[in-house]
Structure 1
Amino acid sequence: VPTSGMAKAKDQNIVQAQIVLTVSESKRLIAKGVAQMPIVKEALKNGIVIIAKGTTCTYVAEEILGKKIPHGAYVLGRTFPEKGGKRLKGVERIGEVVLVKGKHRDDLSLSEAVRMLKPGDVVIKGANALDHENKLAAGIVGSSSGGTTGKILPYVGSRKAHLVIPVGLEKQVSGSVIDIVKKMQEPVDSLNDVHSMFLFTGHIITELEALKLLADVSVFQAAAGGIGGAEGSVRLICRGPRQKVQNALNLAEKIHGEPPFVE
């Protein structure tokens, strides 16, 4: 007689719990996960880590540097509501974070740093679109010269560096990212600002991978969305031995209450 999933879980002493994360809480969790990735820790010890600009990468930089970064100081492109909503306050921009053997080298520009990359080094770059099943991501290109992605990808590939892609499940898109990128590159007359996109892959780390890494539990997404500040949130189900699932809940409890990126 086939064993049901529930009975099987009980036989293995497996428990489950749900975790709901807002967009900003997800970004914080993902950042904590990135900071604990073995390839990132190794590069921080013996190599180079470059953190490209972005909202999620702002949190990554905070976790790795161990200090707060004014929100808005470390972003390039950004998406706001067409009407209403809050805007970033005027803050002084800072350059890309480059670490050489764990030391923050603010004297190195992004262009200089990518030329120093070697096998085993790490570049951390967020994304605007995610195809989690196929482990693909895409980024909007805001510059005709290729933007940050255009500067980074050739060196990551040719120097055999690791590309770490921290991206929330909120960026999951419908359909094939490959097809979407192809369509975005079609020469169609645009009535407003329609950018092209770059397709890339690497070490994709979402809330799922972060929880697996940090709490050693199995995780799947059950639902998404909410109201009252939970718009764009994700509902995750964690399963595993009781103590490990409790550890995941304890981690979520520390992250809950993370303020929105723009207050």
Structure 2
Amino acid sequence: MRALFTLTPSEAKRLIAKAVVKLPQVQEAYQNGRLAVTNGTTNAFIVEELLGVKLKKENYTAGVITDGRPCVSELKQMIKPYLFEHGKRVDTTIGEFIKQLTARDVVIKGANAVDSEGNAGILVGSREAGTIGAVWSLLTAVGATLIVPVGLEKLVPYIPTDVGIDHFTAAEGGISLGMPAGLFPVVGAQVITEIEAMSILGGVEAVLVAAGGTGGSEGSTTFMIEGVEEKVTKMVQLIKEIKGEPPVGRSRRACSSCDKACAYLQRN
């Protein structure tokens, strides 16, 4: 049996979040080890699914693409990342938290790009490469798991390896209409898109068949799923429950209080 449906970006984030919290390694890390759910809009959905709470998801960001340009989030409204140890949220920084990671622990970090090979790309706005720069080497060294939830609205042909922050600064002869950012390539993480999510949640095979839309459906993705009738029917029912998920709101730092180099305001 087959079915066809379209997911808006927010609906896709909700679907992916439901799948991520069901992963055995996520539950094990949350209950018996350490789990970091770093800032990001998809990760805000994951926190909601994990804890049964509601977040103002636009405030669970550090950097954001909004108003048609890359920007930095409003610091005064920013929600600190949810960091868990043995099922309880701990009040510490991500830098201190990751020093305690072991091979049984999990870090969840969203992405800005994903390719068909399962490689991810994360925009970074500082020379220290943000959260991913802080955790990548330590994760690799200790053998902890990095899970990257990312919707296929962010599908790109490949993840380039030569996109650095300095390429877009006036000092180097570059231009950035918005906050300059580099792209941090991530290879070998466990990437969870809508396709993996539907396999986890319903045991169906999914194929991305179309993308885009208008009138509020910009960034949408259209999928065909296939499987035995019972599984397809259950998945369609879940999709119906997800339909209508409101879009993530807008939150960014006011240009008047931003110190980032930005050609949008002719600030070098």
TM-score by length of 2: 0.84
**Where does structure 1 differ by over 6 angstroms across 4 or more consecutive aligned residues?**
88-91
Residue 228 (structure 2) aligns with: 241
Residue 9 (structure 1) aligns with: none
Gaps of 5+ in 2: 251-268
Residue 206 in 1 paired to residue 193 in 2?
yes
Match of 2:103 among 103, 116, 119: 119
- The 1-side partners of 2:209 and 2:24 are apart by 28
Residue 104 in 1 paired to residue 89 in 2?
yes
Gaps of 5+ in 1: 1-14
Residue 174 (structure 2) aligns with: 190
Residue 252 (structure 1) aligns with: 239
The one-letter code matched in structure 2 to 1:48 is R
1:148 counterpart SS class: helix
The one-letter code matched in structure 2 to 1:104 is R
Residue 160 (structure 1) aligns with: 143
Shift of 1:113: 0.9
* 1:165-196: CA deviation from partner (whole Å, max 9, x where unpaired): 0000011113x21xx22244785621224321
Residue 44 in 1 paired to residue 30 in 2?
yes
- The 1-side partners of 2:123 and 2:173 are apart by 18
The aligned runs of 1:227-238 (5 Å cut-off) are: 227-238=214-225
Identity %: 36
Quick one: structure 1 residues 258 and 115, their matched pair in 2 at CA, closer, same or farther if it must change by over 3 Å?
same
1:199 counterpart SS class: strand
2:64 counterpart SS class: coil
2:225 counterpart SS class: strand
Residue 18 in 1 paired to residue 4 in 2?
yes
Residue 95 (structure 1) aligns with: 80
TM-score by length of 1: 0.86
Residue 77 in 1 paired to residue 60 in 2?
no
- The 2-side partners of 1:126 and 1:235 are apart by 21
Shift of 1:72: 2.5
Residue 58 (structure 1) aligns with: 44
Shift of 1:150: 0.8
Residue 143 in 1 paired to residue 100 in 2?
no
The one-letter code matched in structure 2 to 1:241 is V
The one-letter code matched in structure 1 to 2:25 is I
Match of 2:114 among 130, 150, 155: 130
- The 2-side partners of 1:92 and 1:195 are apart by 22
Alpha carbon RMSD of aligned pairs, Å?
1.9
- The 1-side partners of 2:96 and 2:164 are apart by 30
Q: Is the 8 A contact 1:138 1:181 kept in 2?
A: no
Shift of 1:118: 0.2
Quick one: structure 1 residues 93 and 186, their matched pair in 2 at CA, closer, same or farther if it must change by over 3 Å?
closer
The one-letter code matched in structure 2 to 1:32 is K
Q: Is the 8 A contact 2:110 2:149 kept in 1?
A: yes
Q: Is the 8 A contact 1:219 1:237 kept in 2?
A: yes
